[in-house]
Structures are given as structure tokens and as C-alpha cells.
Structure 1
Amino acid sequence: MRARDFGVLVLPDASAPAVLERFRRVEEFGFDQVFLPDHIANVFATEPAWLDGATLAAAAAVATERIRIGTLVSNPVLRPPALLAKEALTLDHLSGGRFELGIGAGIVAADHHATGTEPWSVRERVARFAEYVRVLDEILSADGEPYTFEGRWYSVRDLATGPAAVRRPRPPIVIGGQAPSILRVAAQRADVWNTNGKPELSLDENIALVARQNRELDELCDGYGRDPRALRRSALLWATTDPLTGPAGLEELVERLSGAGIEDFVLGWPEPAQADRFETLVREVIPKLR
């Protein structure tokens, strides 16, 4: 069995110095990864204020030394694929090869409203996502060679792709989502698949869902001629799978989700009232689960 990784999703919902301190604390705690979201605003509340996650990923790269840094997940509504690829390469260099590029399908209406666009239909979002990830993958793998792509939704002409990535062959791609179309793209192109389950489902229902989706991913990988073990499986623990607020502790969650195929576990940065319990998990529970 491969070693488990543990990460933390840090929301940019504090002052810049406070968020930087969160990055440092995550690294001091010994986590493997720190992630940031990529929405124009908090999708759940209007307060507190919300900073830009992608910009703070660059700050995390220079504020830390060891921990891997990533987006969970970058947003195609806000960032054209060539721009995101250049941002990812820059973060790859800033971090010395520690950056991991999470990509989602762009489902939040507020991100569209902020950019003056109408929310995409499901059909359009699915078609866009496959093209979007293809362009990103090919640019990041181009090793400085000029890149051109002409698709239905995206086009890139004579893009200078240098410098080549520090992380070889390119920064890892983490695809987040649960729709069948997302699973197909993950099986084709991702290094990691991430799920956050469904908040309306119970813990048992979410475990069953993850197990079924991992079986589907195995079959899809086989169909594409890819070893299913080459695609790591990751879970963001929240709602009914949150060890700080949900019905199960971290030990039970890791045991049950591991049985469903999950290898990496991402916790949320705690609210102040949960800080002591979070530190207990860090110091007493996670070391035994690795």
C-alpha cells in the first residue's frame, strides 16, 4: 500500500498576514500539501472578506520551504487555459517544483456574474472542460516549444511556452469533480482525482459513492490503456466527512475511505473554536495514520 498524504485547504478569508501565517503553520504541523480555492468570492457567505486564492498560492510558494502547494481547484471561468498554464509554470518555478495544479469545471454562478458571462449549460461545461484540460496538459508538457491549438471553445496561437517546468514531466494535474465527464478526463490526463463528496448525502452514502466512482475510474483507466494505479485518489473532507464537525472521527474516515480507494486526505483549516481539536488530530492521530 502506498503511503498516505495529508493536506489542508486554507480559505483566503482573513488578512494577508493571517493567511501567510496559516501557510507556515500547515508546514510546521508536518502536512504534505496546502491548497487554496479559486473563486471570486466565498461561495457560502459574504463575510469575512475574501482574497484571491491564485495570488496567495504564489505567496505560499515563497512563505514555505518543503510543503507542496496547490489549487483545489483552479477555475476555468476566471482563467483562460493559456493564462492558467503560464501561472502554473510560474508557481512551479517559484516553489522549486512543489506546485500541483488542481482544475475544476467552473460551476459557481457568482464567478460568471463577476466576469460578465452567463453560467454555462451542463452540455457546454462538459465540452469546455475536456478541451480546457487538454490545452493545459499540452502547454505544460511543451518544454518551451511554441504551442497552437484550435478547438470549438478555446484557441491558442503560437504561444511561447517557456520556461520548461521544474517538475518533470510537468506539474501534477489534480482534477476535481464527480460527474461522469469529469471522471473520463481524469482517467485520461490527471495525476490525481479529487472528490469532496456530496454534502446532502450521509456518511455511509458518501463512502458508497466514492467506492463506486473509484471502480469507474479503474475501468476508465483500463479502457484508455492506463494503469489505474497511476491515478492517485484524493478526498477533501467536509460536510458529513469533516472530522471536526461530522459524525465520524478521522481514524474512522481514513479507514473507510481507504477501503473505498482514497489515498490522500485534505482537511479544512479549522475555525478558532476547533483549533485545539485540530491540533490533537495533527499531533496524535495523523502520525499513526500515515
Structure 2
Amino acid sequence: MRLSTVIIAHDRWHGGGRATWHRAEQLGFHAAYTYDHLSWRSFRDRPWWGAVPTLTAAAAVTERIRLGTMVTSPNFRHPVTLAKDLVGLDDVSGGRVTLGIGAGGTGYDATAMGQQAWSRSERTRRFEEFVTMLDRLLREPEGVTQRGEFYAADEVRNLPGCVQQPRLPFAVAATGPRGLALAARYGQAWVTTGDDSVTTNGTPAQSLAALRGQLGRLDEACTAAGRDPAELDRILLAGFTPEQQGPLASLAAFDDFAGAHAELGFTELVLHWPVADSIFAADPRVFEQIAVERASG
């Protein structure tokens, strides 16, 4: 199982941000991601830097670690402008970018641009259209024209295209049937945070059972799409299962957590970089010990 991290972009670049991304590479993480929001949950009244400029700066101070969003959504993005940013970011990084992408939710991002929060049905339809158009825009740099219910592209060019061919990889976050179908068709990886129904009051055993069910439904979606399920990486973003910060309590706790989820079939585990005085507070010494001793395994 590969070990990665997600970094909350809350520090000024020259006040700690640059050092964090550089340190993530030094520690041997497979990838370093950041959330793509305008602000998020309990961080709404704290500094929060944009994902694309943060990842571009991170690409310039690293050489090997993969970089990406965890995750981007249609809430305040348009596939045409996002594709242009991604082609540039993939170039600056030398082909190290993964796009984590999901349907979005009903938080601050959903209304920040003055719109009403979309219903679940509309979010799903937008997500499907967003992913399919973005796939074309990144695969066909010579020009894309497409009109849908929500998005349009008119002779859009993204020359010379992605460094990674035929396009940079998508890691699709989904648990419902239509989202899993998108992951099976367009994803190079699938992302989950677990099952919300057991996060608060459930047990670790119930969480594992729920994740086993999600993995089974992903396999079924791949089979329905005529795709080998083994082609998709399976990414678990930790911190939202009943254990919450348990994996970062100690090296032994991490090993128990990682081992149980590796047995289910997960190929990548993403840990939150510790942020003091937040829901992601953890002992930085334990976090670094885990990275040093397990990230290269």
C-alpha cells in the first residue's frame, strides 16, 4: 500500500507552506494532495489558499512526489477553464499531477458564487457532464466542441496537451451507483472517505464492512463497463472513519489501521498533514515517524 498525505493550504507560502511541501517529498510520500475549496468547514474563518496556485508552487519546489487535488468538484469550477489550468500544472510538474474529482457537496462552495445549492440529483448530473467533458478537453488538445445541459465548449484548444498521455489520471471520488460508473469508465483510481452512516456512531468493524461493500460495488461497476477492476487504484482518505485520528496515535495504531484496509484491497492511504488546533491535530513526531518508516514500504 502506498502512503500519501493531504496538506491543508493554510500557511503563507513563505511562512511555512513551501517547507511543508518540500518536507513531504523528503519524507518519501507517494503523493501530496490538497483540497480544492474556496474555504472548508471549520477552516472557513482561517487562511485558505487556492489549490491550483498552491500545487503549481509545490511543483516548482519538488521533483519526484506526485501532486494533486483531493478533490476538485463542479461547485465553482468549469471544465474549460479547469482543463487549461491542469494542462499548465501538468507541464510545470513534469507530468506528476493526479486530478482527484468528486460531485461536491452543500457546503460553502455550493453557494459562494451566488447560486442556490444544487439538489443531489443536479449534483450527480453535473458531475457526469463535468467529467465527460473534462476527459475530452484533456485528451483532445486540438479542439473540442460540446454542448450539454450545464456546460459548453466551443472549439476549445489545450495545445500541446498533457505531459502524461493520453491525459493526466483521474481519481474519482464516489460511493453511489452513477458515481461508481464514472469511476469505472473514466478513472485511473477511485477515492472514498468511508461510509458517512458509520462515521459518527459506528465501530471500526462496521466501517470495514461498509468499505468492503463499496469495493464490491466498484468491482461490479467495472465489470458492467467492460473493464478489469484491477486497473483502478483504490484510495482511502483517512480521518473520516470511526477511528478518526487513531491511525496517527502511534506507529502501532497506524500499522493496525493500514493493515486492515490493505487486506480489503486499498492500494493507497492518504493521511492528513497535522494542523494544530483543528480537527486534524496530531503529534508531528508520530506523523513523521510513520512517514519515514512506512512511506517507502
TM-score bracket relative to the smaller structure: over 0.9
Per-residue CA deviations over 1:247-287 (Å, capped at 9, x if unaligned) read: x8111112111121211011110135511111221223444
Paired residue type of 1:113? T
Which stretch of structure 1 is more off in the superposition, 271-280 or 66-75?
271-280
In structure 2, relative to structure 1, the CA distance for the partners of 1:61 and 1:108 (3 Å cut) is farther
Alignment match of 1:163 (pick from 145, 160, 172):
160
**Is 1:193 matched up with 2:190?**
yes
- Aligned partners of 1:42 and 1:16: how far apart in 2? 19
Contact map agreement 1:203 1:241 (CA 8 A) in 2: no
1:58 matched residue in structure 2: 56
Measured after TM superposition, the shift of residue 161 of structure 1 is: 2.3
**Is 1:203 matched up with 2:201?**
no
**Is 1:71 matched up with 2:75?**
no
**Is 1:130 matched up with 2:128?**
yes
1:105 matched residue in structure 2: 103
2:256 matched residue in structure 1: 252
Measured after TM superposition, the shift of residue 35 of structure 1 is: 0.1
* SS, match of residue 84 in structure 1: helix
Per-residue CA deviations over 1:122-143 (Å, capped at 9, x if unaligned) read: 110111111110011111111x
**Is 1:281 matched up with 2:290?**
yes
1:270 matched residue in structure 2: 274
Paired residue type of 2:59? A
Measured after TM superposition, the shift of residue 244 of structure 1 is: 1.6
Measured after TM superposition, the shift of residue 245 of structure 1 is: 5.1
Paired residue type of 1:280? Q
2:279 matched residue in structure 1: none
Which stretch of structure 1 is more off in the superposition, 217-226 or 12-21?
12-21
RMSD: 1.7
- Higher RCO structure (Cα 8 Å, ≥6 apart): 2
Alignment match of 1:91 (pick from 83, 89, 92):
89
Per-residue CA deviations over 1:42-82 (Å, capped at 9, x if unaligned) read: 32234432111222011111111111000001121111011
> Quick one: percent identity of the two aligned structures?
32
Q: Gaps (5+ residues) in structure 2?
A: 277-281
Paired residue type of 2:289? T
2:79 matched residue in structure 1: 81
Contact map agreement 1:211 1:260 (CA 8 A) in 2: yes
TM-score by length of 2: 0.90
Contact map agreement 2:2 2:295 (CA 8 A) in 1: no
- Aligned partners of 2:204 and 2:51: how far apart in 1? 29
Which stretch of structure 1 is more off in the superposition, 173-182 or 32-41?
173-182
Contact map agreement 1:36 1:54 (CA 8 A) in 2: no
